[in-house]
Amino acid sequence: MKRFLLALTLVFPVMGNADDASDAPLFYGTGLCTNPEFECIKVQGGQSWEKLFPDEQQRDIVQRVNRNYNYLYAGKVLAVPRHLKDANLLDFSPFPKKIKGDVGRQIIVDQNKLAWAAYETDGHLVKWGPIASGRTKCPDSNHVCLTMTGVFRVFSKEDAKCKSDVFPIGKGGAPMPYCMYFHKGFALHGSSDMPGYRASHGCVRMFVQDAKWLNQEFVQVTNEAKNKVGTKVVVRPVLQTGKPS
């Protein structure tokens, strides 16, 4: 029952908060501090992810719940599940565990939940993880950097050495490990910078280990010669301002 309630609050968190949702996302991070299933702790000087959560699996859950695995600094607030020892990653999924199936594998990118989900052909959730998608406005170009929304197919993917041709502007070379292109220059890729808000130039950043798994275990690329259709990528639009953009 507890797990059911937890899943419910994570899947439908915004419903009770429609008016003041703009700056207080309830899906993740400090937005969960009001949720009785979580406690919020303030990071002290000298503390790191490893020191705070020596168990790798528990650390991974806390990082995913906070949509962040960046270097910790003193004063940062983290939401920590109260029953971390018994926790299972899928219990904290902001996505339903089952959707309507028979449409092939698909990846859903939800920019409001700052999370991705991978669904098998039968509609079962296989994995989920945090994302950092495009900022509303880019600081280096003054352009809109929002991630393209719609339903797409992965048409190209590369390995750990994948790099941007465009960014940093004028030079290119920004690492995009395990990139999976779904529309023009928009790609899902791993990143070491996952700050817990939309921060990219338009690509969908994810934990490097997640991008690796998707790239190697889940995603198929369109190949017209072999009559293969790429894995579907559904990018949902930004419905609220959320954190800094």
| Residues binding other proteins (CB under 8 A) | 99-103, 106, 108, 148-153, 155-156, 181-184, 222, 224, 229, 234-236
Backbone angles phi, psi at 188, to 5 degrees: -90, 135
Side-chain half-sphere CA neighbours of 60 within 13 A: 13
Number of neighbouring beta carbons within 10 Å of residue 118: 22
With residue 186 as reference, give the H or E element that holds it: strand 186-190
- Least separation in angstroms between residue 110's CB and other proteins is 9
Minimal distance in Å, beta carbon 131 to other proteins?
15
Beta-carbon contacts of residue 165 (< 8 Å; ≥ 6 apart): 172, 185
User: Of the two residues 81 and 94, which places its CB atom closer to other proteins in the complex?
Assistant: 94
Which of 213, 212, 194 shows the shortest CA–CA distance to 204? 194
Task: Kindly state the tokens that stand for 24.
Answer: 């207080």
> Which of 142/227 has CB closer to other proteins?
227
Pick from 229, 201, 101, 215: which is nearest to 161 by CA?
215
Q: State the minimum distance, in angstroms, from the CB of residue 14 to other proteins.
A: 15
Give the CA distances from residue 150 to residues 6, 108, 117, 136, 201, in Å, rounded to whole numbers and listed in that order.
Answer: 29, 10, 15, 17, 17
Nearest residue (CB) to other proteins, 36 versus 150: 150
Question: CB 97 → other proteins: shortest distance, Å?
Answer: 14
Q: Which residue's CB is nearer to other proteins, number 74 or number 151?
A: 151
CB of 124 to other proteins, least distance (A): 14
Distance separating alpha carbons of residues 201 and 144, to the nearest angstrom: 9
Which residue number, 16 or 101, has a Cβ lying nearer to other proteins?
A: 101
Nearer to other proteins among residue 53 and residue 167 (C-beta): 167
Beta strands per DSSP E along 67-123: 77-81, 106-110, 115-119
> Shortest gap between Cβ of 103 and other proteins (angstroms)?
4
Q: Tell me whether residue 17 or residue 149 sits nearer to other proteins (CB atom).
A: 149
Q: Give the side-chain half-sphere CA count within 13 A for 84.
A: 21
Q: Residue 238 Cβ, how far from other proteins at the closest point, in Å?
A: 13
